[in-house]
Structure 1
Amino acid sequence: MAKLQTLPAGMAGAGPSLIESLVGDAEVGALFSDEADLAALLTFEAALAEVQAAIGIIPTVAAEAIAGACREFKPDWSALRQGMVRDGVVGPALVAALRLAVGPQHGPCVHVGATSQDLVDTGLMLRLKTAAALLDARLAALLDDLVALRQAQGAVPLMAHTRMQAALPFTAADKIETWLRPLERHRRRLEEIGPRVFALQLGGPIGVGAAKGEQGAGLVDALATRLGLAPAAPWHTARDGIVELGSLLSLMTGALGKLGQDVALLAQSEVGAVRLAQGGGSSAMAHKSNPVGAEVLVALARFNAGLAGTLHQALVHENERSGAAWTLEWMTLPRMAITAGAALRHARALVSGISFKPLETDHPA
């Protein structure tokens, strides 16, 4: 059996892994890094304290100390990882460390009335809202690219295919319309779901509210406003918003996968209806120009479709909190957002290099 060769020290790649360079997205992925996660969690704790001080739940001086400690917080990543393994969520370890950083006088005012789920879910929403804005901007740019392609090459005659067989002549504009329309709908969907999905979580220990009565309602409204999220009743075990967003991410990558599949078929040597400005090479066949960008779109679409099914299983929560379903979300939703970002990036590059080749022969009928 051949021995696996190892690289000398210092020769490991410094950037993303080889597979991540193809199917990952650094900009979207950064929103799901440990550093971004921690920043969002500290944003929640500082805002919670400041709003609680404003409505008289904790002293103003305590809120100032908490906000200052959040700004200057130096994480012990090893301790946070150990806490994550021990508790299944980073909240307890982080809150303990933050109380220590605030000091004994005001430390007890940290995280008053909240629970780890409020902390983690709201931190996720802050990052997902930013990710959605980033994806929306890319989607808008891609739509502009497709409109420009239609204007420039829409009159080129092509052959339509049904069930993989030549059907009737149509134009490049007709083909591009089949790519445009679903993406336009998905962009509207992304805008529409915002108020439903990007919502504050403040359910307290058992998901019935961190504070009762008029003061509790005021706390939710004020904290949501401070964080730029929608005020909402606690949704500790009602994860339909999370799954709705994941489903939309899968719809988006599915539409891009259809675009990629069409381009790959049109670019076949035997069809030659599309010429790509840049293709991938072969180690054995120098004449080949592989439609890598189109193929990646298909793979990303199928990957997100599979993850969407897994994410739907996270809807099943037992009683007032589920560690299993919660963990399943963390494993799937960030990857789905990264996959959607990668698909939009590849789609823009692909569309920019498409040249339609006119149909040279009449339809045989």
Structure 2
Amino acid sequence: MADPFWPGDERAGEHFTALEFVRAMVEVESEWLGEVLEVPDDVDDIAFEAEAGGNPVIPLVRRLRAQDHEVHRGLTSQDVVDSALMLMAAAACAELRRHLGSVAGRLAGLAERHRDTPMVARTLTQHAVPTTFGFRVATWLTGVLDAYDDLARLEFPRQVGGAAGTRAAIVELGRPVPPGTPRWHTTRAPMTRLGDALAGCTDACARIANDVLVLSRPEIGELAEGAGGGSSTMPNKSNPTLSVLIRRAALTTPQLAATLHLAAAQQVDDRADGGWHAEWATLRDLVRRTLVAASQTDSLIAGLRVDADRMAATLAAAGDAVLAEQRSLTHDPAPTYLGDAAAYVDEVVAQTKETTR
């Protein structure tokens, strides 16, 4: 599906769509019942009827009980919604790790190719000391690997607590519950950890996009997007559109993750009056925007153009100023002033091959 409010949204596929939400809730009910239930085809009607009870489980269960009247016995709406969200999140995060794995592989290759490509380092927007483009790419790659690892550490627990977390109806019905199944009706760490990991992904992607945006400015010209985007009025322009859209995501996802924390802080009694409800659409937007950003980052790196000659010319034009630190440290300066930049590139590339193989 495409969304004119969020160009590129179709890259997220069916993850966290209304239909996928209903399918996931039906899967939860089917597993609990021990019988495969058919997914209703009137998703829009279910969504419309959800307002009356405050959640979509109520109209869904009415339809499912036409297939088997034992549906939902012992569960509560939050069990179904939370478990369905975790099912969808597990699938989305698996795809997200595939995207990040591809990004990491591309970056590792780019870092190796430019391990010794000289350029000027910039700190606080100003020229600093010599560095290499391979070193810059390795710093990008480190952030991607951190995000990849954070996703791998996530858990996606089911929710089985019954009306108020005591499982009273489940015990009354004599239903076995797997030992250790968590009850997190008002303890929302699974949601906040997920939100933090997703925001970390867009942080890592934006770190790359921000450098591309700066270094592709005409007055710098050291990087360029492979295709670039056009303009509605200036046919000569080739805008760094992917980088802009990746940055867009990173400007919005932290607030979505913060909403999950705010919802967690607003938990009360044995089911929150609004805090729980605020999570669903927030998580949907966070997941889809992160998937889109990761996919766009993969495309960005795949087509990235590096102008090594321009990098070398900028470094040369900086003159002795970039060697001022070196001269302050020794009277017998080495011919280059790159420290162990090459060793860092080698280390991160090796880590990538080990982590994503």
In structure 1, C-alpha distance between the alignment counterparts of 2:224 and 2:50, rounded to whole Å = 51
Classify the secondary structure of the residue corresponding to 1:159. Answer: strand
Residue equivalent to 1:40: 24
Which of 177, 195, 201 is residue 159 of structure 2 equivalent to? 201
Residue equivalent to 1:219: 177
Residue equivalent to 1:90: 56
Deviation at 1:25, TM superposition (A): 3.7
Classify the secondary structure of the residue corresponding to 2:50. Answer: helix
In structure 1, C-alpha distance between the alignment counterparts of 2:288 and 2:44, rounded to whole Å = 26
Deviation at 1:78, TM superposition (A): 5.5
In structure 2, C-alpha distance between the alignment counterparts of 1:90 and 1:276, rounded to whole Å = 43
Which of 6, 15, 18 is residue 4 of structure 2 equivalent to? 18
User: Which deviates more from structure 2 when the two are superposed, residues 256-265 or residues 74-83?
Assistant: 74-83
Matched to 1:182, the amino acid is G
Matched to 1:42, the amino acid is V
TM-score under structure 1 length normalisation: 0.80
Residue equivalent to 1:134: 95
Which of 143, 152, 176 is residue 191 of structure 1 equivalent to? 152
CA shift in 2, pair 1:267/1:354, >3 Å? same
Alignment of 1:1-365 (within 5 A): 16-22=2-8, 24-26=9-11, 28-50=12-34, 67-68=35-36, 70-71=37-38, 73-77=39-43, 79-102=45-68, 107=69, 109-194=70-155, 198-209=156-167, 211-212=170-171, 218-221=176-179, 231-315=180-264, 316-358=266-308, 359-360=312-313, 361-362=315-316, 363-364=318-319, 365=321
CA shift in 2, pair 1:282/1:38, >3 Å? closer
Classify the secondary structure of the residue corresponding to 2:122. Answer: strand
Deviations 1:169-212 (A, max 9, x none): 11111100110101111111111122xxx011000000123534
Deviations 1:28-58 (A, max 9, x none): 35121222112111111121122xxxxxxxx
Residue equivalent to 2:333: none
In structure 2, C-alpha distance between the alignment counterparts of 1:305 and 1:237, rounded to whole Å = 22
In structure 1, C-alpha distance between the alignment counterparts of 2:232 and 2:79, rounded to whole Å = 52
Classify the secondary structure of the residue corresponding to 1:260. Answer: helix
Deviations 1:119-164 (A, max 9, x none): 1111111111111101011111110010111122332211110000
In structure 1, C-alpha distance between the alignment counterparts of 2:127 and 2:10, rounded to whole Å = 37
Deviation at 1:282, TM superposition (A): 2.6
Deviations 1:63-111 (A, max 9, x none): xxxx25x13x534445523430100011222212211232xxxx1x221
Classify the secondary structure of the residue corresponding to 2:129. Answer: strand
In structure 2, C-alpha distance between the alignment counterparts of 1:279 and 1:74, rounded to whole Å = 43
In structure 1, C-alpha distance between the alignment counterparts of 2:55 and 2:65, rounded to whole Å = 17
User: Which deviates more from structure 2 when the two are superposed, residues 203-212 or residues 135-144?
Assistant: 203-212
In structure 1, C-alpha distance between the alignment counterparts of 2:40 and 2:153, rounded to whole Å = 38
TM-score under structure 2 length normalisation: 0.82
In structure 2, C-alpha distance between the alignment counterparts of 1:18 and 1:83, rounded to whole Å = 27
Question: Do 1:156 and 1:357's aligned partners in 2 also have CA atoms closer than 8 Å?
Answer: no
Question: Do 1:246 and 1:336's aligned partners in 2 also have CA atoms closer than 8 Å?
Answer: yes
CA shift in 2, pair 1:252/1:76, >3 Å? closer
Deviation at 1:334, TM superposition (A): 1.0
Classify the secondary structure of the residue corresponding to 1:187. Answer: helix
Across the aligned residues of Structure 1 and Structure 2, the Cα RMSD in angstroms comes to: 2.0
Question: Do 1:264 and 1:291's aligned partners in 2 also have CA atoms closer than 8 Å?
Answer: yes
CA shift in 2, pair 1:75/1:280, >3 Å? closer
Residue equivalent to 1:59: none
Matched to 1:159, the amino acid is V
Moved runs in structure 1, 4+ residues, more than 4 A?
A: none
Aligned residues: 312
Deviation at 1:19, TM superposition (A): 3.4
Question: Do 1:156 and 1:356's aligned partners in 2 also have CA atoms closer than 8 Å?
Answer: no
Deviation at 1:251, TM superposition (A): 1.1
Matched to 1:19, the amino acid is F
Deviations 1:233-277 (A, max 9, x none): 210111111011111111110111111011110111111111332
CA shift in 2, pair 1:98/1:161, >3 Å? same
In structure 2, C-alpha distance between the alignment counterparts of 1:319 and 1:302, rounded to whole Å = 34
Classify the secondary structure of the residue corresponding to 1:168. Answer: strand
**Higher relative contact order structure (alpha carbons within 8 Å, sequence separation ≥ 6):** 2
